[in-house]
Structure 1
Amino acid sequence: MKGSRSCAWMLAGVSIWAMPAAALAQNADAPDIVVTALKRETSLLKTPAAISVVSGADLQAKGVVNLADIQNVAPGVAIAQGRDGVQVAIRGVTTTDTSSKGEQDIAFSVDGAYIGRGNARGGAFFDVDHVEVLRGPQGTLYGRSSTGGAINVVTSKPKLGETSGYIKAEYGNFDTKRAQAAVNLPLGDTVAIRLAGSFNDRSGYSRPIDYNPVFFGTTYHFSAAQARARNDQNDATGRASLLFKPNDAFSLRLNATYGHQGGVGGAPALETQLAAHGDTGAAALAGLANPVPSFLRNNFSQYDAALNYRFGPAQIDIIASHQVMNFKQQNASVQDAAANGGGALYPCFGNPCDVRNANAAGLPPFGPTFQLYYQQNHVKTDQIEARISNADKGRFDYVLGANYFNEAAGENGQSWNAQIAAPLDTGTYVFQAGPVNVTTHKAYGLFGQTTWNATEQLGVVLGARYTHDEVSRVGTFALPYNFAAGFPPPPYPDSNGNAICHYPDTCAGAVNNGGQKDNKVTWRVGLNYQMNPRALFYASVATGFKGGGFNDYDPATGGTGQYQPASLTAYELGYKGRPLEGLSLSSDLFYYDFSRFQVNSGVNFPSGNFALYTVTTPVKLYGWETELNWQIDRDTSIDASMTLEHTSFSNFITGANSLIGNGVSFTGQAVDLAPSFTLLGGISRRVTIDDHSALRLRLNTKYSASYLLSDYNAAVRYRQHGFTRTNASISYELDDARYTLQLFVENIENKVQRTSIIGGTYAGTYGGTNNNSVLNEASDPANNLAFYTTAPRLFGLRAGMKF
């Protein structure tokens, strides 16, 4: 199948190249797209880097309503949703530490302001001008946390002298209700404001099912009516923008964004349900009924400013941002309680615990439980970047700059066990474990990149950045009571000074401070050859860097211990151009020598301690990407992309027992979320009805080969099989699309794909790779193994009006 698809792609490419020019004589060239990915405005087809751009108009047409949907329209991108928000992988490069001390491998920014926490990335996709996806390390211009690439969301800016706006509304299945609106207002000749907002409300598509556990001879019954459907939406976000532009040389833009995310919150899907329903529809996403309430409360704000000033031959750009996120959620388990804390050997320590069944079995006075996780994060981020560059193209095109970043991330993650016999009696909840800390990330950098235009055709690129990166944590970590070990539990106090911690108070444990500092110079060297105005060839060698960190426990110190920074060297060879009228084509060969790839998992130490532990390991990645946009005529366009990639761990032993002589080798195996082949394609066709109206038909699809997901703790891997995912829409447009009415369907196949594993739910044989099926371990208990997934089929009606 892979070979046939590759051959089909190459034949299609040959046919395009061989098409007579006369057949395309009436085709108009696609508009020249301007991007700011290289920290200055450049033409997309003359920017020597692997970049994909999706316009704001195409986002809705292609079914992109959030960050996770970018993987369906940009090559090389895979996105996982988990308890800590959205995690992005580009060409297999991603982070495995999503805690407050972890950092991303893919930089995500809105209007130039970096957003580091996965839970803070959910409110960006409204009133968007375009989205830029950069593939490959961006160590020179972006610095830290851009080891694998960057995603830039650029919102619509106020326009001088123009009164305009739009209103959009949507209704769909799962009682989906969405609305988005914006208005642009001039205030004199030099000032304009833009007000925009969005609202999303949708019932959960992961519905509960009846649960009838049996413990020590007693049967309990929990009806689906006792729990609410998960993976819902209840969001609202607004943005106010002001532009002051007294002349062509000076502009100042101010943004203020406020948002709220609410509802029940997300939840994984049970593997038993996924398998029983063939990964199809909402029925495959069900979880066990759990009466313990789940909820999500996330309030966030961002204030940013951009100043641009041109004086003579130079331009100054300054971007500053202040962000605040107050995140709170309670996740109650949807897996089998027997596998998630049931029968745990924890004492009551004075609470009115349910002791009937436990005493009858001769166990300590604590019975089976539901597990829940209560999380609070308060994150403040301040950053500023200043750049100077040449205003007009010359012999040397340069960017020089400096930036400063400071993030204080307060983390409070408390795990609790709720008595299964009285799950709503919070006075009986028993504390399990949790961190309470403030982690500070600080970084500053000095960078510069120049292109020496040696001739009209040949350019030499040289760039370098010095980065100072540091992470420090001050706080505590409370571990579970260990009654079975034969010692009494430590008297964990709560945040109010009580001797014993009770839900939902913060439980303070042992001191758990740590820190790490790194200094790094990253660089880029490249050659650009503009063979003619319609063909650019480029080659580059670039390095990427992400700061090191510290482990919660290290046997060498008996406390926290440091691990090394991530380090990557990338080699790229590419082409961009317009080989035919109306056809934009880019192609890129890449090879990554990822000498230090950071992997985080839980491990056992010879001392008997168990802790999360990050190691660095070498990885190789190489492949080929091709992307095209073809405006066949004024009414028909095609876009397509293809990615072929091979990834492998060079020398990697993992598993909870890897440090005590019983590890499992992943050497030679692919990294997570890195399919060997993906193909994206779309076609748009406008059909004229009369002088005032038309129909627009849109179809886009994605094919992905299989990819792996890892439970590094259990040293077990799961294979998500290859799949297609297709969206379609038909729109009625009136008066040059001033009024639109659209019928749409997303994920026509109604299949869902696994994107991440819930750690600690695997209970089968230690070690292994499930290459032939997602689950083939007979020893896995039913209703235990769980995965976060993509969404099922969504369909509905959209209406819009522009003015």
Structure 2
Amino acid sequence: MSRKLLLGVSAAALALPLRAQAQDAAPVPQSTPEANSANGAAVAPADPEEEGGLGQIIVTAQRVEESSQRAPIAIDVVSPEELVRQNVIRAEDLSRTSTALSATGSTGGPTTVFFVRGVGNATVNAYSDPAISFNYDGVYIGRPSSTSGVFYDLQRVEVLKGPQGTLYGRNATGGAINVIPNRPKLDDTSVDFSLGYGNYDWLTGQAAVNVPLGDKVAVRVAGSLSNHDGFQSDGTGKQREYAGRFQIYAEPTDQLSLRLAADASHHGGSSPSGFYLGKVDPTFGPTGFAGYSFTPTGFSPRQGLFDPASQALLASRFVSQAGRAGQVVDGFPFNDDDYWGVTGELNYETDAGTLTIQPAYREAKLAYQFNGVFRGAFSAEKDKQTSLEARWAGDIGTAIDYLIGGIYFDENIAATARYDQQILTPYQDFTTGTKSWAGFGKVTVHATDKLSLTAAGRYTADKKRFDGTSNVYILFCGNPAPPQDFCPNLPFIPVLETEQQFIDFYTSRGIPITPVPLFVLPPFAGGSQTAPFVLRSPIVINSGLNNDKFTYRLAAQYDITPRNMVYASFETGYHAGGFSFARGVETYKPETIDAYTVGSKNRFFGNTLQVNLEAFLWKYRNQQFSQFGYDLGNPPATVFLTRNIGDSTIKGVDLDVDLKPTRNTLLSASVQYLHAVYDSFTYFVPNQGLPPNSTCAYAPITQTVNGVPLALYQIDCSGKPAFNSPKWSLILNGEQTIPFDTFHVVLQAGTRYRSSSYSTADYLPFLQSKGNFVSDASITLGTNDDRMFVSVYVRNLENSRRQLGGTVNTANLVVSAVEQPRTYGVRIGGKF
């Protein structure tokens, strides 16, 4: 789909006046859905006689429509009002809406890293699949780089906590995120809009137009944009995004409905470059090596890597392998990513049941450059995915409900990439693909009026293929062993687009490119202990993987009263293996999870108090862990790789409370206690003389990798807390409406707390994400007919910017990133 068409759809929608999606607008009139739940979902009242109470939330998390209070599953539902209030523009913004979810945008381009209760992986390239299933409009999205451009004109977002091994498009060990757009309505002619402007020159807008075409057909067009300046001093962290969606819906008969949807989006701007948190240096005493010292730079998180002071610090650092100082960062980051997709949905209702068929096709064309530990890292990628899902839902009398279905998923990726680390650069060219087939089913037996028993199962077969080459070039100033060689005129690896340009750059300067290190060759073969050279070390993978697994779910639900229930479940999850461009760890195995859950969902006091409680115990096995680190080559290369690191036990309690003490007051609280610890966690790094910089236990070993004996360190982090798993997470929200004759004022405030957590495998204290509060507030003036509103807001009142881990670059500088700063602005909206 062309960018011109996308611009046209977005502009057409945004040019029209429109209905406020605003959560900041006051409560809607009594005859319409009203705010409810800890996440503020817009829903219809539970009982007509109790319109002032909390409403019910209809979800489709189990592939059928049901009240979230009646579903025996762990789920957070985020309303469109809450999405606007929390300014959810990209997938990483969702972490502000759920205590269980950690969603972070990396400094590596358009990708988003999802963790649910310590389960997830840092999938930031095309090699591996995410552990959290992201589904948009009922379609599984295979790439975490393709989750942007969908957060507008939504019914809701569902965050499912725990393995999804039965009903969803791909198996997921950690959970699922379902993004569900508003559908066209046959009996509604409406236009909705909201526009916002804030600091960092932040312009946001959403619009939707719904038009019936006769009695049986309706069309809905929606669009969005979000543009802001960079959050860092060097101008990085800029956002330029817009999106558009078109849907047509028809009901030819009372039994048959058809919907066709097309969407497209563009992701521009740039990723944050990161900032220098500190420097790490080895220290030595009378007996030799004495450890590592960390010295903070004192730099603000706003001070990007292109800031003159940052460049001066980098240039001052001596790199022993290159025999010189003087590094620079000059590969300025950018994003130029386009996405589009089409899907159809057919529903045919009969007396025996309902047939649903949903085919879909999606494409992504990515070109982006980023920094972090890199001088400049570039990736160009073309993703194509095709899927077809069919389901049949029915019942047998009043005692049995059932659902059966199947899905086919086919994904193909072609990519090139280069990652310039000043003294090491791989040039990668590869294709990879996944074909997945699955059949699934679910049956619920209503044993009595109060007791229901559910069994669900799924068989999945995954076939993966990876074909490609990564030519790794490593720069040396002579022999890296002491004594130190000096090469003051040896150029660091520059940012060059092609491998041939790289070869020409060094050979034209008389620096040989060789497959064997010069210092191991005899002089008659061109060997030298002091001459600089570039080592060429290719990594070739032409391989396939076949994985299959049966996963299942067993659950029981007992209704104490019509508004109080308890449930228990056991379910399994599976996540397929994959590939890495890393010698010695070219492939990794599937991971699995077993999850035990008990919970209770309740309404009290005339439907004004909701209390939901859940306790969970997960057993996570063969966990896949993705990180930037060393492979097991000779010599080793720093690469991004995924490996199986071990097992963990995850347990905790989730409490959600909503209280509506008066018609105009809504209070909510969500609290999660999480205890996630690795039962076993071991991995290996090359032994290059000095011990690893880690708080985990380690020991030197020798291991044969690909037929070559290597000196390694085995690192054992068993007993350490799981990644991205704060022990305490808390969300508090309050809303008070002050009514007047023709208008109302809504006061809203909330805060989110997360205790400290780790996201890197070295567990260094300076890379710990410290516990923090992040609060927001807004004041909204709206008309009583909900036709217009104006709102002023502030987010992150404390300007508390939680650290997002960090990585050490070739100059032993720690490069880190942080969350968004304080933002504020004004928003207007309306409906016609």
Q: In which range does the TM-score fall when normalised by the shorter chain?
A: 0.7 to 0.9
Q: For 1:48-90, what per-residue CA distance to the aligned partner results, in whole angstroms no more than 9, with x for missing partners?
A: 0011111112221344333222212212111122115111111
CA distance in structure 1 between the aligned counterparts of 2:672 and 2:305, rounded to whole angstroms: 29
CA distance in structure 2 between the aligned counterparts of 1:543 and 1:380, rounded to whole angstroms: 29
The reply to whether residue 435 of structure 1 matches residue 474 of structure 2 is no
The reply to whether residue 528 of structure 1 matches residue 577 of structure 2 is no
Structure 1 partner of 2:394 = 390
1:737 aligns with one of 783, 786, 811: 786
Q: For 1:234-279, what per-residue CA distance to the aligned partner results, in whole angstroms no more than 9, with x for missing partners?
A: 1110111111112332211111111111123332233159998999
Q: Does the CA-based 8 Å contact 1:563-1:616 persist in structure 2?
A: no
Structure 2 partner of 1:319 = 358
Q: For 1:351-406, what per-residue CA distance to the aligned partner results, in whole angstroms no more than 9, with x for missing partners?
A: xxxxxxxxxxxxxxxxxxxx111111111111111100116983111110000111
Structure 1 partner of 2:760 = 710
Cα gap change, 1:433 to 1:715, in 2 (>3 Å): farther
CA distance in structure 2 between the aligned counterparts of 1:520 and 1:259, rounded to whole angstroms: 35
CA distance in structure 1 between the aligned counterparts of 2:648 and 2:504, rounded to whole angstroms: 44
Structure 2 partner of 1:212 = none
Cα gap change, 1:313 to 1:398, in 2 (>3 Å): same
Q: For 1:648-687, what per-residue CA distance to the aligned partner results, in whole angstroms no more than 9, with x for missing partners?
A: 1112223524764423321111011100011111011110
Structure 2 partner of 1:127 = 153
Q: Which amino acid letter does the alignment assign opposite residue 570 of structure 2?
A: V
Q: Does the CA-based 8 Å contact 1:603-1:613 persist in structure 2?
A: no
Shift of 1:129: 1.2
Which residues in structure 2 correspond to 1:591-670 (within 5 Å)? 591-601=617-627, 602-605=629-632, 607-610=634-637, 612=641, 614-657=643-686, 660-670=711-721
The reply to whether residue 415 of structure 1 matches residue 428 of structure 2 is no
Cα gap change, 1:279 to 1:197, in 2 (>3 Å): farther
The reply to whether residue 688 of structure 1 matches residue 739 of structure 2 is yes
CA distance in structure 2 between the aligned counterparts of 1:549 and 1:480, rounded to whole angstroms: 24
Q: For 1:451-498, what per-residue CA distance to the aligned partner results, in whole angstroms no more than 9, with x for missing partners?
A: 1111111111111100001221111111014555789xxxxx998989
Structure 1 partner of 2:202 = 176
Shift of 1:622: 0.3
Structure 1 partner of 2:242 = 236
Structure 2 partner of 1:585 = 611
Structure 1 partner of 2:289 = none
The reply to whether residue 676 of structure 1 matches residue 736 of structure 2 is no
Shift of 1:99: 2.4
Cα gap change, 1:561 to 1:571, in 2 (>3 Å): same
CA distance in structure 2 between the aligned counterparts of 1:75 and 1:36, rounded to whole angstroms: 21
Q: Does the CA-based 8 Å contact 1:462-1:526 persist in structure 2?
A: yes
Shift of 1:737: 2.1
Cα gap change, 1:640 to 1:128, in 2 (>3 Å): same
CA distance in structure 1 between the aligned counterparts of 2:68 and 2:83, rounded to whole angstroms: 18
After superposing the two structures, state which structure 1 stretch, 465-474 or 135-144, moved more: 135-144
CA distance in structure 1 between the aligned counterparts of 2:84 and 2:497, rounded to whole angstroms: 48
CA distance in structure 1 between the aligned counterparts of 2:299 and 2:738, rounded to whole angstroms: 36
Structure 2 partner of 1:570 = 595
Q: Does the CA-based 8 Å contact 2:113-2:123 persist in structure 1?
A: no
Q: Which amino acid letter does the alignment assign opposite residue 704 of structure 1?
A: R
Q: Which amino acid letter does the alignment assign opposite residue 89 of structure 2?
A: V
Structure 2 partner of 1:262 = 268
Q: Which amino acid letter does the alignment assign opposite residue 327 of structure 1?
A: L
Per the normalisation by structure 1, the TM-score is 0.80
Cα RMSD, aligned residues only:
3.1
Structure 1 partner of 2:533 = none
Structure 2 partner of 1:247 = 253
Cα gap change, 1:285 to 1:54, in 2 (>3 Å): farther
Shift of 1:284: 8.8
What secondary structure sits across from 1:755 in the alignment? coil
Q: Does the CA-based 8 Å contact 2:194-2:205 persist in structure 1?
A: yes
Equivalent residues, number: 682
After superposing the two structures, state which structure 1 stretch, 125-134 or 144-153, moved more: 144-153
After superposing the two structures, state which structure 1 stretch, 189-198 or 608-617, moved more: 608-617
The reply to whether residue 761 of structure 1 matches residue 809 of structure 2 is yes
CA distance in structure 1 between the aligned counterparts of 2:616 and 2:754, rounded to whole angstroms: 19
Shift of 1:304: 1.2
The reply to whether residue 160 of structure 1 matches residue 164 of structure 2 is no
Structure 1 partner of 2:577 = 548
Q: Does the CA-based 8 Å contact 1:693-1:733 persist in structure 2?
A: yes
Structure 1 partner of 2:708 = none
Structure 2 partner of 1:137 = 163
Q: Which amino acid letter does the alignment assign opposite residue 461 of structure 1?
A: T
Q: Does the CA-based 8 Å contact 1:436-1:508 persist in structure 2?
A: no
After superposing the two structures, state which structure 1 stretch, 453-462 or 508-517, moved more: 508-517
CA distance in structure 2 between the aligned counterparts of 1:231 and 1:608, rounded to whole angstroms: 35
Q: For 1:619-649, what per-residue CA distance to the aligned partner results, in whole angstroms no more than 9, with x for missing partners?
A: 1100000112222222111121100010111
Q: Does the CA-based 8 Å contact 2:140-2:170 persist in structure 1?
A: no
Q: Does the CA-based 8 Å contact 2:169-2:407 persist in structure 1?
A: no
Shift of 1:176: 0.7
Structure 2 partner of 1:700 = 750
After superposing the two structures, state which structure 1 stretch, 64-73 or 463-472, moved more: 64-73
Structure 1 partner of 2:342 = 303
CA distance in structure 1 between the aligned counterparts of 2:667 and 2:829, rounded to whole angstroms: 24
2:407 aligns with one of 403, 408, 421: 403
The reply to whether residue 54 of structure 1 matches residue 106 of structure 2 is no
Structure 2 partner of 1:477 = 470
- The alignment-based identity, stated in percent, is 27
Q: For 1:727-775, what per-residue CA distance to the aligned partner results, in whole angstroms no more than 9, with x for missing partners?
A: 11100001422100000001000011122434x4387xxxxxxxxxxxx
Cα gap change, 1:332 to 1:532, in 2 (>3 Å): closer
Structure 1 partner of 2:517 = none
Q: Does the CA-based 8 Å contact 1:540-1:572 persist in structure 2?
A: yes
Shift of 1:305: 1.3
Cα gap change, 1:722 to 1:73, in 2 (>3 Å): same
Q: Which amino acid letter does the alignment assign opposite residue 749 of structure 1?
A: E
What secondary structure sits across from 2:84 in the alignment? helix
Shift of 1:165: 1.5
Structure 1 partner of 2:772 = 723
What secondary structure sits across from 1:576 in the alignment? strand
Cα gap change, 1:279 to 1:535, in 2 (>3 Å): farther
Cα gap change, 1:604 to 1:199, in 2 (>3 Å): closer
Q: Does the CA-based 8 Å contact 2:301-2:818 persist in structure 1?
A: no
Structure 1 partner of 2:444 = 451
Q: Does the CA-based 8 Å contact 1:552-1:613 persist in structure 2?
A: no
1:41 aligns with one of 37, 44, 65: 65
Structure 2 partner of 1:88 = 114
Structure 2 partner of 1:749 = 798
CA distance in structure 1 between the aligned counterparts of 2:504 and 2:152, rounded to whole angstroms: 42
CA distance in structure 2 between the aligned counterparts of 1:271 and 1:76, rounded to whole angstroms: 28
Q: Which amino acid letter does the alignment assign opposite residue 719 of structure 1?
A: Q
CA distance in structure 2 between the aligned counterparts of 1:148 and 1:634, rounded to whole angstroms: 38
Structure 1 partner of 2:21 = none
Q: Does the CA-based 8 Å contact 2:684-2:712 persist in structure 1?
A: no
Shift of 1:523: 0.7
Cα gap change, 1:797 to 1:272, in 2 (>3 Å): farther
Which residues in structure 2 correspond to 1:488-507 (within 5 Å)? 500=503
Cα gap change, 1:431 to 1:61, in 2 (>3 Å): closer
Cα gap change, 1:59 to 1:482, in 2 (>3 Å): closer
Q: Does the CA-based 8 Å contact 2:566-2:599 persist in structure 1?
A: yes
Q: Does the CA-based 8 Å contact 2:274-2:304 persist in structure 1?
A: no
Q: For 1:14-67, what per-residue CA distance to the aligned partner results, in whole angstroms no more than 9, with x for missing partners?
A: xxxxxxxxxxx9883322211001011111100000111111122213443332
Question: Which structure 1 residue ranges, 5 or more long, are not aligned?
Answer: 1-24, 209-228, 341-370, 419-429, 488-492, 764-780
Question: Which structure 2 residue ranges, 5 or more long, are not aligned?
Answer: 1-48, 280-293, 312-328, 481-495, 507-535, 687-697, 704-710
Shift of 1:717: 7.5
The reply to whether residue 792 of structure 1 matches residue 821 of structure 2 is yes
